[in-house]
Structure 1
Amino acid sequence: MHRETNKHFKFDWITIILFFMLVGFGWINILSASHTGDTLNYFDLQHSYSKQLIFIFFTIGLIILLLSIEAKFYERFSSIIYIISMLSLVGLFIFGKNVNGATSWYAIGGMTLQPSEFAKVATSLAIAKHISDLNTNLKNFKDQIQAFLIITVPAVLVLLQNDTGSTIVYAAFFFVLYREGLPKYYLIIGVFLILISILSLKFGAIITSIAASTIILLAYYINRKKAIFARSLLYIIVTILVSSGVKFFYQNVLKSHQQDRISLWLRLEKDPEKLERMKQTFAYNLNESEKAISSGGFAGKGFMEGTRTTGKFVPEQHTDYIFSTVGEEWGFLGSAGVVILFILLLLRILHLAELQKSQFSRVYGYSVAAIIFIHFLINIGMVMGLIPTIGIPLPLFSYGGSGLWAFTILIFIFIKLDSNRINEW
């Protein structure tokens, strides 16, 4: 590790300020969601808000370390970082601690560490290194396969640990690949398969297959080309296979609690009484979260004044459901403020990514934005009942050292890379 000498650096303070605004406001809401009504004791590590304060303190030291490392270090050692990260995921199958059904943590003394959070950073560096290689062209099938493997390996390892939420995040990298030249038909196929899967569960395989096949045949009738006929026939076959396979996957592969969450989301259960029982059993967190958000109104009830928050109606509110605290205590204004902060952060990262002279830095920047966006989209959608319940934290906001440190590393590596832009040709 070497430090740069005789070089100029200009850190992007807009991104840094947005980062600390989100972390700071996140801690305020963690404090509100986790305090027990007693006198606040910031040094009592029995409380989540005290632990998060310690995590934030170490975050500052981590930031100083990340910014002091030579920018080229991250590119030069990206492959080694990726391999070490994959080994840490494999090690969980032997030494991992099971928490809430997922074997995703290492127990170190009195604390736990979640390698899957840091694997996103390692994958971002590895995919940036692969794409920026002079011999890589994402229009070539071989290079596409290599890119898919880099993304798929950690995704599969995380899925085998029963952490579905973290697995879904790896879909973010396909937006990055598309930006860097991946043929658009991959994105079209992905959206097509997701849409067919959802419609098949909602309306049944037969109705979905007939409807989709009709649309495909109409499209062929309008164009009337032989090449399009062969492709249209392939689409119809794929539609029938996917529609039939989704039901089997739903009933025989997914676990019961996963089936119930999807069933509630798509309103598959027709019996009103059974549907209500399912809501109370499997969607209790979601129901209470929605009540907390709606009770906040326009301006909110005020800091530490949320009755549903102080009454602990929303289980684990300081983690995945932290946004419900914002909704109740800060209302629509506070919720909109948080959303705007995240949008500003994403837009700033994307803007900086476009300014990069190095393809490695640009690809990494887009990876950072894509990962934050997927986390933000899924968590907010989950808390508001717009998508199925998926255990995924709100970046920089939810309680947890692993998540906070991983996103800190993710963002500040990019800030360091961007600061070195003026030294690149």
Structure 2
Amino acid sequence: MNRTNATPLVGKLDLISVGLVVFLVVFGWLNILATVTPVGDEFQWSWDHEAGKQLRFIGLASFLILIVLLADARLFEFLAWAVYGFSLILLVAVLFFGVERGGNKSWLNLGSFGLQPSEFAKLGTALMVARILERGGSPMETWRGRLLPMIVVAVPMILILLQPDAGSALVFSSFLLVFYFAGMPSYYLFGSIGIGVVSLLALAFSPETMRLLIGSISLLSLIVSRARKRMPLIRLLKHPAIWLGIAALAWASTVNQVFENVLQPHQQIRIKLLLGQVDDPSAAGYQTAQSLIAIGSGGLFGKGYMQGTQTRLRFVPEQTTDYIFCTVGEEWGFIGSFLVLLAFAGLIIRLTLLAQRQKHSFGLYFGLAIASILLVHFAVNVGMTLGLMPVIGIPLPFFSYGGSSLWAFSLMVFVFLRWDAYRWESL
């Protein structure tokens, strides 16, 4: 008998990843419990408040994980098309039958709870992208090779933007990292970053300043290139700096039109807050202002569990979901916040390392997709809590209150861990 195949499944799972997920789920639940316990009131347990509901969500997530671990790992690769297609059906259904919450029509009512299809679309898209890249054919270096994976990512993004939920749609930009690792030219990745930077600069400065800034950078690039390579003047006309400068100027001139005519008013205000163009803590910036007060008041060791005044007096809106991290800062201080950041960083790095050791390219690309999605969620949510990012309303994985997010991330991570365990079975 092959001793590797005889090893129990638990022995094949990456226990470091499992331990980090369990830590985040348990610690997240403790912080949710702290936010629903009012000051001065005797604690009374209820299955109807957020902590009680989250415990039920954790129970269902555990059941889903058990099903995943008992399944044949190859089934997930085989069902990639079906899972992706079903997630698109849910995204279309929510446009017609969805319930509006917070200005977004992103939820389907299923009896006593709501389901957010955009969370599960991340799983379907990750499986589908991994399946396409695994099949090979045209490499990502060619247009033909890049076209289908980009379409697979673009379709759910567009459907989510129609809800409209810009925050969830932004998460799909994480697949650029997967495409980059798969061989896509680096200028796609850095070009996307450049578009974001130019957009923010165009909103922050006047058109005249932008023309001067872009023109100066382009001119400096030409001077450096001519000095280093001694290019003739005629060849400088073909230099990328000229065409990139023209493209940047063209995009910068249209950013304000897009900003005013495409984004909703509350989204415009959030971006203006980030740029310092609006300063009104009693209105649009209230959430971030109260979040920073909570985090700053925690000091090094925090005020103590269930001792946070900002937390228990409910000064911070959406504190169990989008702003759960400020509860950690207030009650557990810098030390507790650092441990949470360390756990997320450890999980993302660990999943990336597991992906790189896969013998099958499906596992490689699926693992990289999950790590990239986690990275974007983590960076945007924590950055939003600290006032470094616009308020776009995406949860902190495994930590925030909510069934859809917890179930989707549990499925994503444990489907990958089940596939990683299959690596041992195929030896």
Q: With the length of structure 1 as denominator, give the TM-score of the two structures.
A: 0.94
Alignment-derived partner of residue 403 in structure 2: 401
The one of 415, 421, 427 aligned to 1:419 = 421
Query: Is contact 1:209-1:239 (8 Å) kept?
Result: no
Q: Counterpart amino acid of 2:273?
A: L
Partner of 2:248: 239
* Structure 1 position 170, deviation (Å): 0.4
Which residue matches 1:301? 303
Contact 1:35 1:49 in 2 (8 A): no
Matched residue of 2:272: which SS?
A: helix
Equivalent position of 1:265 in the other structure: 274
1:98-134 per-position Cα deviation (integer Å, ceiling 9, x unaligned): 1111111111111101110010000000000111113
Q: Distance in 2 between matches of 1:56 and 1:137?
A: 40
- Partner residue in 2 for 1:335: 337
Offset, 1:210: 2.0
Measured in 2, the distance between the counterparts of 1:352 and 1:377 equals 21
Distance between the aligned counterparts of 1:19 and 1:227, measured in 2? Answer: 56
Give matches, 1:133-212, under 5 Å. 133-212=135-214
1:69-80 map, 5 Å: 69-80=71-82
Provide, for residues 27-53 of structure 1, a one-character-per-residue CA deviation record: whole Å limited to 9, x for no partner.
0000001223544444x2321100001
- Aligned partners of 1:227 and 1:324: how far apart in 2? 55
Contact 2:214 / 2:249 at 8 angstroms: preserved in 1? Answer: no
SS in 2 for 1:185: helix
User: Given residue 222 of structure 2, which amino acid in structure 1 is its aligned partner?
Assistant: Y
C-alpha displacement of 1:261 = 1.1
Does the 8 Å contact 2:303/2:331 carry over to 1?
yes
Q: CA deviation at 1:229?
A: 3.1
Q: Secondary structure at the match of 1:98?
A: strand
Percent of aligned positions that are identical: 39
What SS does the aligned partner of 1:282 have? coil
Separation in 1 of the partners of 2:420 and 2:235? 46
- Residue 229 of structure 1: aligned partner: 237
State the distance in 2 between where 1:102 and 1:150 align: 23
Output aligned runs, 1:15-414, within 5 Å.
15-37=17-39, 38-42=41-45, 44-224=46-226, 225=231, 229-230=237-238, 231-269=240-278, 275=279, 278-414=280-416
Deviates more, 1:224-233 or 1:413-422: 224-233
Q: Which moved further from structure 2: 408-417 or 143-152? A: 143-152
> CA contact under 8 A between 1:30 and 1:48: conserved in structure 2?
yes
> 2:361 & 2:333 partners in 1: Cα distance?
42
Structure 2, gaps ≥5 residues long: none
One-letter amino acid matched to 1:165: G
- Paired letter, 1:205: P
Q: Secondary structure of the residue that 2:109 maps to in structure 1?
A: strand
User: 30-39 or 160-169, which moves further after superposition?
Assistant: 30-39
- Name the SS for the 1:280 alignment partner: coil
Report the AA paired with residue 184 of structure 1.
S
Shift of 1:262: 1.0
Amino acid at match of 2:258: F
Identify the range of structure 1 (208-217 vs 340-349) with the bigger mean alpha-carbon deviation: 208-217
Q: Point out 4+ residue stretches in structure 1 off by more than 6 angstroms.
A: none
For residue 322 of structure 1, report the CA deviation from its aligned partner: 0.4
Q: Distance in 2 between matches of 1:228 and 1:82?
A: 47
Verify the 8 A CA contact 1:382 1:389 in the aligned structure 2.
Answer: yes
- Corresponding letter in the other structure for 1:306: G
CA deviations on 1:165-188 (whole Å, 9 max, x unpaired) are: 101000100011101100011112
SS across alignment from 2:283: helix
Bigger shift: residues 182-191 or 321-330: 182-191
Whether the 8 Å contact between 1:293 and 1:328 is mirrored in structure 2 is yes
Aligned residues: 413
CA distance in 2, matches of 1:193, 1:164: 16
What's the CA shift for 1:228? Answer: 5.6
Report how far residue 211 of structure 1 moved: 1.4
8 A Cα contact 1:358 1:424, kept in partner: no
Cα contact 2:13–2:420 (8 A) shared by 1? yes
State the SS of the aligned residue for 2:108: strand
- Residue 342 of structure 1: CA displacement? 0.5
Separation (CA, whole Å) in 1 of partners of 2:82 and 2:244:
41
The offset of 1:7, in angstroms, is: 6.5
Q: Is the 8 A contact 2:5 2:425 kept in 1?
A: no
Which moves more between the two structures, 379-388 or 197-206? 197-206
Shift of 1:340: 0.5
CA shift, 1:6, in A, is: 5.9
Residue identity opposite 2:18 in structure 1: I
- C-alpha RMSD of the superposition: 1.6
